[in-house]
Amino acid sequence: MHDFVRTRNGVLGTVFRSVVRRSLFTLAAVLALAPSAAAAGPRATDFEMPAPIEGGIASSSGAYTSPVVKAPGRFSLVGLKWSGAGQPGIAIRARKASGGWTRWADASGELDDAPDPGAAEDTGPGHSAPVWTGAATAVQYRSTRRLRKVRFHFVDVTPGRGSPSAAASQAGAPAIVPRSGWGAEGCPPKSKPGTGEVKAALVHHTVTANDYTPAESPSIVLGICRYHRNSNGWSDVGYNFLVDKYGTIFEGRAGGVDQAIVGAQAAGYNSETTGISNMGTHTSLPQTEAGLNSIANLIKWKLPLHGAGTAGPVNVGTKTIERISGHRDVNSTSCPGEALYAQLPALRAKVGSVGPLGPGAPLGPVRGRTRLDTSSVSPSTTVFPATARVAGKLRLVNGTPVQNQPVQVQQTRRNGTWKTIVTTTTGTDGSFAGNVKPVAKTFVRARFPGDGGLRASTSKRRVLKVRPVIAAARSVARASTKQTPVVSGTVKPAKGRVTIVVRKGSGRRAKVVQRVAVGARRGRFRKAFRLRTAGLYQFQAVFGGDASNAAASSPSFYIRVTGPPSGGAER
């Protein structure tokens, strides 16, 4: 437990140096994530410190207001973490470096119910939404109940040099600031992004300050990304897109603005929606006209791109929602705020009814996007030298089959590069199939090279294993204890060693009496055995498997050994 110094009125004044030292150590530990000083975009560092366990004011209703806590260093964004389940109401304010306090900002964890795909569900520690404060030195929070083991997570962002430029990534797309424009090199994803579908657009707000300048917007995006990644423990920023009040659209989660990237913006619905977050708090303040126009342009491009219309109801997860909906329509949250939620009808009117690409429609640079369904491989383990069948379907992103197009069936070489084994043509339903005949374990995939009207696409890779064939034979069926019968055989593809397993008896009562490793030259092996006691012996040649081939065994065979019932052990 740390000691704290109190002022005369009982409010916490300063935190002991032990806390500061720990916080500065945390800051130093994350400095490696910050981009170099030469970067043109904003730069950021993170640090944490525990909240005091004494002081503050508790009301009769259980609500709590913390004392004012001086941060170990200057910060631009702050949020809370605590121990315990459930989501209390949280508000945060900060003392500006220039003097004076920000307004209380609702930070009740709008994203708390949206853990990152692949991460454990957040059933233990809770966390608030991040609050952008601008340059600040002290912080205070209030909550609807007393929290345990509270920690502040701070992000200090240094603005970049110059303004980010937005550009359309492809025909029909609105101008979007890429990740490089807001310093994403300082917030690299922890893992490769996942892909899903885009059936609807969910509108959020970031629960940050509304009084920011255009020059501050990139810094806010970087700060949110660092908080989502380093405090919430997600792989990357949770939103797919962020839009500021000036109408600037920022690329959010990595993976490509034209891809169906799975975010962490709506628990249970991330794989079927795209998340667009409005930068600011829109509980009582609506989004600007410029912001709404940019969101409308983004949705008019994004949803049809993935084969979805922009109007009407759609089934996602366990709910039926409008194609343009608020976060609160799928999760238990107040997001995107009362004022912005009331603007959704106006936003839908701006977007209008734009339909997806239909069968027979002319292909353009956006509508020509294709996808190869994950190919099936049958069987997944072949027995040498048999073939395996690789099959799948080529479609447009809206599901329309693409026929009479070449598809390359490929497998990996030893150096890991891809080699085309056969080129086949899609049928009327977009289906294709081709055979491969590997010697060793390999990966297989299908690739559509594209043409003037259709974009190239590649299926997910699948592993294909190869099981060798082992043939073994005996020199005699019967032998005396004084003879040495020979076991010989082959293993294909050639392996350098097999094991001959010898069992005495038959059926379930057979007992292993020998395991002999035998070298195989060019896949051929030979071994003489002397069995010194009479009985029935079962032989089987076994390959245990390696990095190239799966385990295999030969059919078993028997040798009857005659002679005295005893007189020595087998060897």
pLDDT digits 0-9 by tens, 121-154: 333 578 888 999 989 999 999 999 999 999 999 9
Beta strands 478-480 and 273-278, pairing class? unpaired
- Domains of the chain, residue spans: 4-158, 187-214+233-351, 370-467, 469-562
Structure-token pair, residue 491: 């293993």
Q: Tell whether the model's pLDDT for residue 13 goes beyond 80.
A: no
Contacts (Cβ under 8 Å, ≥6 apart) of 192:
none
The domain covering 370-467 belongs, at the CATH homologous superfamily level, to Immunoglobulins (2.60.40.10)
Q: Tell whether the model's pLDDT for residue 46 goes beyond 70.
A: yes
| Fold agreement between 370-467 and 469-562 | yes
DSSP 214: G
Higher pLDDT, 185 or 87: 185
Q: Tell whether the model's pLDDT for residue 36 goes beyond 60.
A: no
pLDDT band at 317 (very low <50, low <70, confident <90, very high): confident
Structure-token pair, residue 450: 């594209």
> What are the pLDDT digits (tens) for 424-464?
999 999 999 999 999 999 999 999 998 766 778 899 889 99
The domain covering 469-562 belongs, at the CATH homologous superfamily level, to Macroglobulin (MG2) domain (2.60.40.1930)
> What are the pLDDT digits (tens) for 186-227?
999 999 898 888 999 999 999 887 888 999 999 999 999 999
> What are the pLDDT digits (tens) for 95-124?
999 999 998 888 876 443 344 443 333 335
Task: Given CATH 2.60.120, say whether it is the number of domain 4-158.
Answer: yes
pLDDT number for residue 424: 95
Contact 147, 88 (CB under 8 A): yes
**One CATH from 1.10.730.10, 3.40.50.2300, 2.30.29.30, 3.40.80.10 for 187-214+233-351:** 3.40.80.10
Report d(CA 162, CA 414) in Å as an integer: 47
Contact 521, 502 (CB under 8 A): no
Report d(CA 416, CA 31) in Å as an integer: 35
pTM for the model: 0.59
pLDDT band at 397 (very low <50, low <70, confident <90, very high): confident
CA dihedral 232→234→238→244, nearest 10 degrees, is: 60
Count Cβ atoms within 10 A of the Cβ of residue 449 and give its class: 0-12 exposed, 13-18 middle, 19 or more buried: middle
pLDDT number for residue 368: 63
Q: Say which amino acid occupies 145.
A: R
Tokens 């609702």 correspond to: 106
pLDDT band at 396 (very low <50, low <70, confident <90, very high): confident
Report d(CA 462, CA 443) in Å as an integer: 5
E-assigned strands of 279-323? 313-316, 319-322
Average pLDDT, the chain: 85
Contact 432, 392 (CB under 8 A): yes
Contact 456, 449 (CB under 8 A): yes
Mean pLDDT check: name the lowest of 21-25, 134-138, 280-284.
Answer: 21-25
Q: Tell whether the model's pLDDT for residue 160 goes beyond 90.
A: no
